[in-house]
């Protein structure tokens, strides 16, 4: 029996991941490229198959006469030579390293439209094959298709409103007696993130998602309460909104964090320490299982949560960059032990910018900039693959 990542979150009916009982799998093992090949399918379709050692976290973009497949956590491999069949739209395939991402660039003889969900398959390992990302496409036939080719995709159409009512839990950080960081101009983090959260809820509601906010007013909530809130609403994605501060007032830009017991860098460690108080979340009935079963179930859940959270965070970072939102120097996606992210709901903590930077403090207060941030987050959620 094959278990999807989403199924792993529900196995045995556990409501939350136990914190501190077993080792935590922070994120998926590094992926490796196995093969690249093309073929011809009925209806003059070109098929591009990319085989990888583990499940790929990917996105698709469509520059002029190109299809670019961006795969996170992967390095280029010169030993993998693409096998190109005759009669396809693909004339050449190259590998381009971009930070921790590998971009597989297929040069095309004609433009193609944005791939729809029905044109994309992610196949599980079978026999001698590892994971295979299968993309079927034809030449664009209308101007509308060509316009759509400029839009980023992560395995689903970003133009279609969600039809399946995926549940998004929005968590405006801090609140009440906890103001969060305060800018030189007196701007409080709790007020900025609540304003952005309200706009985000409106945007997601309009896009067809079912949304909840952990707080809709100036209310103080413990970190464990926020995570429990997402669990109780059976959330499919948890977005915790924050604004940052740095001793160096010149530092600015967004950053995105996912859960890990080990921080990816010293700054991530300090930020996590300032944001949480090492809350632990209990699991009702968890101790009824044998110890080795508890360890296996918890590990399975944690791996699925970490993999899905990493996938969303990378997609969100791409959405911000494509919207020309300035990124903090260093990696856009980092990892740290945030208590608010300890649950079976995949999620990320988004630092929208730095209130300690005077120019960015002013920007974060601007309705236009807040709308820009919201539009990028909405796009990243539309592009996120909820079904795998």
Q: Sorting pLDDT into bands at 50, 70 and 90, what band is 383?
A: confident
Do 94 and 180 fall within a single domain? no
Map tokens 């390992």 to a residue.
125
Residue 345 three-state SS: coil
Alpha helices in the chain (DSSP H): 5-10, 143-148, 189-206, 223-232, 266-275, 291-322, 358-365, 367-383
- Do 320 and 326 form a contact (C-beta atoms < 8 A)? no
- Choice between 285 and 247, residue whose per-residue pLDDT is larger: 247
Residues with Cβ within 8 Å of 187's Cβ and at least 6 positions away in sequence, in order, are: 355, 361, 364, 365
Structural tokens at position 247: 């001793």
Positive or negative torsion for Cα 31, 3, 237, 180: negative
The predicted pLDDT at position 259 comes to 78
Candidate from 7-11, 212-216, 272-276, 283-287 with smallest mean pLDDT:
283-287
CA-nearest of 34, 35, 38 to 48 is 38
The predicted pLDDT at position 266 comes to 55
Residue 119 DSSP label:
G
Structural tokens at position 116: 């729809």
Residue 172: pLDDT above 90? yes
Reported as a single tens digit per residue, the pLDDT across 254-309 is 999 887 655 444 554 554 444 443 233 333 443 443 444 334 334 444 556 778 88
What Rg do the C-alpha atoms of the chain give, in angstroms? 21
Residues with Cβ within 8 Å of 293's Cβ and at least 6 positions away in sequence, in order, are: none
Do 260 and 172 fall within a single domain? yes
Rounded to the nearest 5 degrees, what angle is found at the Cα of 296, between the Cα atoms of 293 and 299?
Answer: 145
Do 138 and 237 fall within a single domain? no
Residue 354 lies in a domain: yes
Out of 119, 148, 177, a domain closes at 148
Out of 148, 169, 201, a domain closes at 148
Percent of the chain topping pLDDT 90: 47
Average of per-residue pLDDT across 180-199: 94
Q: Sorting pLDDT into bands at 50, 70 and 90, what band is 142?
A: low
Reported as a single tens digit per residue, the pLDDT across 17-65 is 433 333 333 344 589 999 999 999 988 899 999 999 998 888 888 888 9
Task: CATH number of the domain at 55, please.
Answer: 2.60.40.3500
Residue 323 lies in a domain: yes
The residue range of the domain holding 106 is 33-148
Do 135 and 278 fall within a single domain? no
The predicted pLDDT at position 237 comes to 92
Total domains, the chain: 2
Out of 93, 118, 148, a domain closes at 148
Residue 157 DSSP label:
-
Candidate from 91-105, 210-224, 294-308 with smallest mean pLDDT:
294-308
Average of per-residue pLDDT across 141-150: 45
The predicted pLDDT at position 331 comes to 85
- Do 272 and 380 form a contact (C-beta atoms < 8 A)? no
Q: How far, CA to CA in Å, does 183 sit from each of 126, 179, 200, 359, 360? A: 55, 11, 23, 10, 10
């Amino acid at each position: 029996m094959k278990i999807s990542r989403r199924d792993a979150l529900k196995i045995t009916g556990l409501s939350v991941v136990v914190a501190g009982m077993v080792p935590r799998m922070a994120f998926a093992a590094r992926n490796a490229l196995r093969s690249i090949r093309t073929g011809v399918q009925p209806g003059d379709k070109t098929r591009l198959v990319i085989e990888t050692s583990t499940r790929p976290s990917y996105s698709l973009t469509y520059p002029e006469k190109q299809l670019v497949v961006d795969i996170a956590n992967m390095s280029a491999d010169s030993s993998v030579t693409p096998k190109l069949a005759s009669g396809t739209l693909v004339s050449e395939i190259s590998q381009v390293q971009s930070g921790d991402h590998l971009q597989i660039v297929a040069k095309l003889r004609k433009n193609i439209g944005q791939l729809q969900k029905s044109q994309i398959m992610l196949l599980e390992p079978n026999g001698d094959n590892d994971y295979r990302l299968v993309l079927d496409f034809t030449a664009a036939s209308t101007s509308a298709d060509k316009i759509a080719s400029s839009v980023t995709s992560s395995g689903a159409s970003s133009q279609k409103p969600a039809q399946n009512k995926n549940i998004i839990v929005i968590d405006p950080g801090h609140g009440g007696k906890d103001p969060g960081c305060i800018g030189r101009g007196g701007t409080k983090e709790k007020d900025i993130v609540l304003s952005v959260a309200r706009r985000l809820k409106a945007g997601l509601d309009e896009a067809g998602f079912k949304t909840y906010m952990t707080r809709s007013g100036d209310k103080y909530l413990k970190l464990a309460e926020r995570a429990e809130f997402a669990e109780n609403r059976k959330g499919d994605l948890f977005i915790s909104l924050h604004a940052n501060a740095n001793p160096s007032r010149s530092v600015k830009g967004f950053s995105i964090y996912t859960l890990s017991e080990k921080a990816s860098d010293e700054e991530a460690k300090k930020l996590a320490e300032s944001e949480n108080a090492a809350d632990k979340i209990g699991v009702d009935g968890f101790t009824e299982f044998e110890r080795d079963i508890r360890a296996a179930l918890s590990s399975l859940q944690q791996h699925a949560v970490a993999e899905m959270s990493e996938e969303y965070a990378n997609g969100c970072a791409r959405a911000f960059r494509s919207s020309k939102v300035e990124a903090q120097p260093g990696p856009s996606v980092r990892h740290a032990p945030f208590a608010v992210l300890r649950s079976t709901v995949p999620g990320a903590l988004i630092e929208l910018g730095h209130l300690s930077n005077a120019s960015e403090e002013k920007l974060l207060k601007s309705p236009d900039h807040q709308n820009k941030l919201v539009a990028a987050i909405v796009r990243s959620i539309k592009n996120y693959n909820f079904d795998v």
